[in-house]
Structure 1
Amino acid sequence: MTRRAALLLTALLIALAGGTGPAQATGYRYWSFWEREGKAWTYATQGPSTARPADRSVQGFRFAVSEDSQDASQPRGEAGFTTICAGTPARDGLKRVALVIDFGTASDAPSGETPPASRTACARLAPDATTADALAAVAKPLRYDANALLCAIGGYPERGCGEQVSSERKASRASEDESGGGPSLGIVAGVAAVAVLGAAAGWQARRHRHG
Structure 2
Amino acid sequence: MTPALRRTAAALLAAVLAALVTAAPAHAADYRYWSFWKGTGGTWAYQQQGPALYVPPDGSVDGWRFALSPDGGRDAARPTGTPDFASACGGTPARPGRKRVAVVLDPGTSADAPPGAGTPPAARTVCAAVPAAATSAEVLAAVAPPLRYDGAGMLCAIDGYPRAGCGEPVAAAPASGGGGDGGPALGPVLGGALVAVLAGGAYLQYRRRR
Amino acid at match of 1:87: G
Shift of 1:112: 1.2
- Measured in 2, the distance between the counterparts of 1:44 and 1:155 equals 22
Aligned residues: 154
TM-score normalised per structure 2? 0.67
Go from structure 1 to structure 2 and tell me whether the alpha carbon gap of 1:168 and 1:61 turns closer, same or farther (over 3 Å shift). farther
Among candidates 90, 94, 101, match of residue 90 of structure 1? 94
- Measured in 1, the distance between the counterparts of 2:168 and 2:61 equals 27
Shift of 1:24: 5.2
- Residue 128 (structure 1) aligned with residue 108 (structure 2): no
Q: Are the counterparts in 1 of residues 44 and 83 from structure 2 also a CA contact under 8 Å?
A: no
Go from structure 1 to structure 2 and tell me whether the alpha carbon gap of 1:40 and 1:78 turns closer, same or farther (over 3 Å shift). closer
Summarize the alignment of residues 16-35 of structure 1 with structure 2, pairs less than 5 Å apart: 25-35=28-38
- Measured in 2, the distance between the counterparts of 1:146 and 1:47 equals 16
Amino acid at match of 2:132: P
Amino acid at match of 2:140: L
Q: Are the counterparts in 1 of residues 88 and 102 from structure 2 also a CA contact under 8 Å?
A: yes
| Greater displacement, 128-137 / 23-32 | 23-32
Summarize the alignment of residues 8-157 of structure 1 with structure 2, pairs less than 5 Å apart: 25-68=28-71, 69-113=73-117, 114-157=119-162
| Residue-by-residue CA offset, 1:59-102 (whole Å, 9 max, x unaligned) | 10000111121320110112500001123222222111111111
| Residue-by-residue CA offset, 1:30-65 (whole Å, 9 max, x unaligned) | 000001112121111111111100110111000011
Secondary structure of 1:108 counterpart: coil
- After the TM superposition, list the runs of 4 or more consecutive aligned residues in structure 1 that deviate by more than 6 angstroms: none
- Gap regions ≥5 residues in structure 2: 1-22, 177-210
Q: Are the counterparts in 2 of residues 65 and 167 from structure 1 also a CA contact under 8 Å?
A: no
Shift of 1:23: 6.8
Go from structure 1 to structure 2 and tell me whether the alpha carbon gap of 1:24 and 1:136 turns closer, same or farther (over 3 Å shift). same
Amino acid at match of 2:65: R
- Residue 163 (structure 1) aligned with residue 161 (structure 2): no
- Measured in 2, the distance between the counterparts of 1:149 and 1:36 equals 22
TM-score normalised per structure 1? 0.67
Amino acid at match of 1:27: D
